[in-house]
Amino acid sequence: MAFIAEELALELVKKVREPVEMIQKRDRDLASQIRRATNSVVSNLSEGAQRVGQDRMHHYRISAGSAAELRSALRVASAWGYVNEERLDESMVLVRRVLAIVWKLTHPR
């Protein structure tokens, strides 16, 4: 399941790339925050998959937090009018999917 989440997160990087370039022109700090959050989602999923026990859960939780931060930052960019909301639709779907999978990873039965 972590592998699937990591692949979705990498796809998310590709989907966010163009909107981030648009946001960069209007708000460098927000674009940087989006890049860092996106990178953190992927990196922590990958690192968590190589860990065990609570250390693994810690990285998955960080990934979830970064995905939530990314979702909020994209919404802020849209609210400021830096990027059209429809341009973010696919990215937001991927963020929700990653968050759902990470939820399952951090809340095993």
**Segments of the chain with pLDDT less than 70:** none
The residue among 67, 48, 65, 47 whose CA lies nearest residue 57 is 48
Give the pLDDT of residue 24.
98
Domain ranges for the chain, please list them: 2-106
Question: Quick one: residue 61, left, alpha or beta (phi over 0 = left, psi -120 to 50 = alpha)?
Answer: alpha
The per-residue pLDDT for 96 is 97
pLDDT of residue 44: 97
What pLDDT is recorded for position 74?
Answer: 98
- pLDDT of res. 30: 98
CATH code at 2-106: 1.20.1440.60
Q: What is the pLDDT of residue 53?
A: 87
State whether residue 2 is helix, strand or coil. helix
Q: Token digits for 68?
A: 């939530």
Element (H, E) at 53: helix 53-79
Q: Which letter, b or e, does each residue of 57-91 get, where b requires 16 or more Cβ atoms within 10 Å of its Cβ?
A: bebbbbbbebbebbbebbeebbeeebbeeeebeeb
